[in-house]
Chains A and B, each alone.
Chain A
Amino acid sequence: MPPAMPPQLWPMRSDLTRERLLTLLERMWLIRAFEEKASELYARGVIGGLLHLGIGQEGVAAGSCVQLRRDDAVFGSHRAHAHAIAKGVDVDKLMAELAGRATGYCGGKGGSMHISAMETGFITATGVVGGNIPLALGGALAARRAGTDRVSVVFFGDGTAQSGSFHESLNIAALWGLPVVLICENNGYAEFTPLSAHTNVARLAQHADTYGIPNVTVDGSDVVAVYDAVAAAVARARAGDGPSFVEALTHRLRGHYEGDPAKYRELSELEDWKQKDPLARYVGYLEQSGVISEDGAESPAAERAARQRVNGAAERALAAPFPDPSAVATQVYAG
């Protein structure tokens, strides 16, 4: 058994600057506004396919990604809009991609589950559970081989922890000491089933223990706790000290995908978590710490700016052309 991680490697209070604190707020609002808009467009039939929203999971995305460098690589799951936005993608191109327009990041060919914005370091999302973890490992290997200190960060859900690729990946990441941060967003549900029906394992970070990977379980709707945990993990990876595993306990406020009424969840469970809305909690934290004044203007201003940005993106997406029919069979191969 590997030794337990000494607590000081997971600092619980960070040295976030006011600027960074406010950036987190803005970014979380941008994610919230975007997801709500996407939901609306989906209901109107503008966005098709399957749409997996991260409303209620903004804390993990923002807390993790805002601190990364542009050249750090992020790999998302099927529920990846938040992470892409947190990494700094262009919201216009993101919205256009969801709407299947030619102006989208992937020319309309990827859609919600295959977002890629490589220029920002958001490498790809994937629709296959567990599909992104091996890719992230490879990214980490390549970064190290090239002599850089770039880090790979990969996000996946609690349902992924039961898949074979999860196990194989933890083993290889540990064996090879790869500079990767594995972030498990445990929202208690894998599709429509509670986690307890998928596995006996109560705390998914226990799997990291098995392979001797340093790990921590944090409250995912505490964006500062997430920020701190990931900061320590990123520092370790950059220093060449290998992989880390962060389990963020969080909750989906909507169904598995749009259209899923989530009858399978207890209403009371939902009410309890609404009180743990990461955005609301964070505003409270900022007020308590004196970063913003009570009933200050910062949060409403951030919300307004976010909604304005997103509404503009939606308008531009709707006005953008669809891909030309000739595009259907282009870019199958690279030159």
Chain B
Amino acid sequence: MTVATIRYIDAINSALAGEMKRDDSVIVLGEDVTLGGPFGATKGLSEEFGDDRVINTPIAEGTVMGLAAGAAMLGARPILEVMFIDFITLAMDQLVNHAAKLHYMTGGQAVVPLTIRALCGAGGGFGAHHSQSLEAWFLHVPGLKVVAPSNPADAAGLLRSAVRDNNPVLFLEHRGLYWRKAEVTEDAIPVPLGMASVARQGGDLTIVAVSKMVEVALAAADDLSDSGIEAEVIDLRSIVPLDREAILASVRRTGRLVVVHEAVTFGGIGAEIAAMAQEHAFAHLVAPVQRVGAPFAPVPASVELEKIFVPGPDDVIAAARRTMTAEGVR
């Protein structure tokens, strides 16, 4: 198998092509996908697989989501691109009320093998409608799976798993990760959904991070290491199914937990993880769980404000230190 150092976006492109080669029922839909999309994720697919399988849609997010779900129910395996996750709001009925619930409502008769790739995250000052992180909304919808790879290899591996999964899977791509390069093995075994990975081992505290915040957490961990604090960084990779055991096993060892995500802290996925930790590892915790996320506000357009808005290593370091010096530490 060939190993190459490629960008996250190329890993996605190559995984898409690979799945389309492997399974004739896989089709790609979305706005401008025949032209490669706004960042090139679908580049070349139209030339290789034809208009029959790479389909440009009008700007009609709601209907296109439903169309993809309907095609999935009846034999196709669609991969839908949502240009910016902010626009998924227009497709909420079809995604939440229909795609996610059809299998359950029909008593198991309907199967919806649909993958939805959505571009997320802030950067570059794109403003409030092009920068959100909305995974907390979808963690809350039984019937949906949600994944968020942090690096090129996982992007390829998780995408393959998502496409092969027989459920609607929301595949979250942070656009700020698109240009990151790393080694990717072509045709590697797909990364299973629901399995976190330990990005860095450590015994003093656990930092759970997702998507672009994984590199932030690793940077913070390096800094903490200079002070003799060794942090374990867990890359969630999947949000639903959540790898509870991986998180709890680490927390039971370290006794300290910091959760970091780019999404707004209030009501974010960190809240669910914190609740889970205190519920199942209370006896092991020596400090309150810390959450790091964005402030409770829409994403500001000004790049200087945006820099403050998006969590950085310093925020994670501060949170980590709070767990080392919390009052009432046992």
Contact = CB atoms under 8 A, between A and B. Distances in A.
A138 B69 contact: yes
B325 interface: no
A168 B70 contact: no
Interface string B77-115: 010000000000000011001100011111111111100
Of residues B60, B70, B107, which shows the largest number of chain A Cβ atoms within 10 Å of its Cβ? B70
B110 A105 contact: no
Interface string B52-75: 110101101011111111111111
Interface in A106-144: 106-110, 114, 116-119, 123-124, 126, 128, 131, 133-139, 141-143
A135 B66 contact: yes
Contacts of A75: 70
B196 to A, nearest CB: 19
Contact of A139 (B70, B103, B108, B111): B70
A135 B70 contact: yes
B106 A333 contact: no
Interface string B158-189: 00000000110000000000000000000000
Interface residues of A, number: 45
A234 interface: no
B60 A110 contact: no
A172 B27 CA distance: 17
Most-contacted residue by chain A among B74, B78, B145 (CB, 10 A): B74
A145 B75 contact: yes
A288 to B, nearest CB: 41
B188 to A, nearest CB: 24
Contacts of A165: 62-63, 66, 93
A104 to B, nearest CB: 7
B25 interface: yes
A136 B300 CA distance: 40
Contacts of B108: 107, 331, 334
B298 interface: no
Nearest to A169: B63
A117 B110 CA distance: 9
A179 B150 CA distance: 41
Contacts of A23: none
Interface string B183-205: 00000000000000000000000
Contacts of B109: 105-106, 116-119
A131 B107 contact: no
B38 interface: no
B299 to A, nearest CB: 26
A311 interface: no
Contacts of A107: 107-108
A297 interface: no
B143 interface: yes
* Interface-central residue, B73, B112, B167, by most chain A CB under 10 Å: B73
A165 B98 CA distance: 14
Given A123-B74, A139-B74, A171-B60, A109 B143 contact: no
B98 A118 contact: no
Contacts of B143: 332-333
Contacts of B145: 333
Contacts of A118: 106, 109-110
B142 interface: yes
A176 B94 CA distance: 20
Contacts of B58: 168, 171-172, 175
A335 interface: yes
A110 B102 CA distance: 9
A53 interface: no
Nearest to A115: B106
Contacts of A172: 57-58, 60, 63-64, 67
Contacts of B224: none
Contacts of B97: 126, 128, 131
30 contacts: A106-B105, A106-B109, A109-B107, A116-B106, A124-B106, A126-B97, A131-B94, A131-B97, A133-B66, A134-B62, A134-B64, A134-B67, A134-B70, A135-B66, A135-B69, A135-B70, A135-B73, A137-B63, A138-B73, A141-B67, A142-B72, A142-B75, A143-B74, A145-B53, A165-B62, A168-B62, A169-B67, A172-B57, A172-B64, A334-B113
Query: Which A-B residue pairs are the 7 nearest by beta carbons?
Result: A138-B70, A134-B66, A135-B70, A106-B107, A138-B71, A168-B60, A168-B63
Given A109-B104, A135-B70, 20 more contacts: A106-B109, A107-B108, A109-B106, A117-B109, A118-B110, A131-B97, A137-B70, A138-B68, A138-B70, A138-B72, A143-B74, A146-B25, A146-B75, A146-B76, A152-B70, A172-B58, A172-B64, A332-B103, A333-B143, A334-B167
